[in-house]
Amino acid sequence: MDKNHLIYLRTEGSAERGYLSFFELNRDLQFPIKRVYYIYDVPVGIKRGMHAHKKLQQLLWCPCGEIEIVVDDGKERVSYLLDSPKKALLVLNGYWREMYWKKEGSVLCVVASDYYDETDYIRDYNEFLKYVEEGYWDHEDQL
């Protein structure tokens, strides 16, 4: 299972003036961004996600608040806590993801490698497991 999905964003600043975090194509992120979206006003305790993507890759970060992201490769589940604006999570294609809102006002920002396409989603966990078993993704290769 992936040990390197969490990225610590390059950050400039000071406690006096505040901070600025950033990422750049090729230097920090390996896919060109085709889409940006964000999820907000989610009540605490709500779970979102619950799907995998066949091809889409995404970088997720939480500029304010606290969101837990569980990433599942069909064999193992790994939990990541986005509790700092300096942390971002790269989620490759072929991973089931679940997102748990831990604090009121938490915002989840996402950049994605492609346009929105419902046919790229796998929304049924058993169907996801079938894709894994059939070797649709080589998770070992990706990590």
Chain residues binding ligand TYD by CB under 6 A are: 35, 37, 39, 48-49, 51, 116
Q: Tell me the closest approach of the beta carbon of residue 20 to ligand TYD, in angstroms.
A: 26
What is the Cα–Cα distance from 49 to 27, expressed in whole angstroms? 28
Can you read off the two tokens belonging to residue 19? 């901070």
Q: Identify which of residues 49 and 63 has a Cβ nearer to ligand TYD in the complex.
A: 49
Q: Tell me the closest approach of the beta carbon of residue 48 to ligand TYD, in angstroms.
A: 4
104 with 23: CB under 8 angstroms?
Answer: no
Q: Tell me the closest approach of the beta carbon of residue 137 to ligand TYD, in angstroms.
A: 19
Give the DSSP H/E element, type plus range, for residue 133.
helix 125-133
Can you read off the two tokens belonging to residue 125? 């966990």
70 with 5: CB under 8 angstroms?
Answer: no
DSSP code of residue 119: G
Q: Identify which of residues 91 and 132 has a Cβ nearer to ligand TYD in the complex.
A: 91
Q: Identify which of residues 22 and 116 has a Cβ nearer to ligand TYD in the complex.
A: 116
The set of catalytic residues is: 51
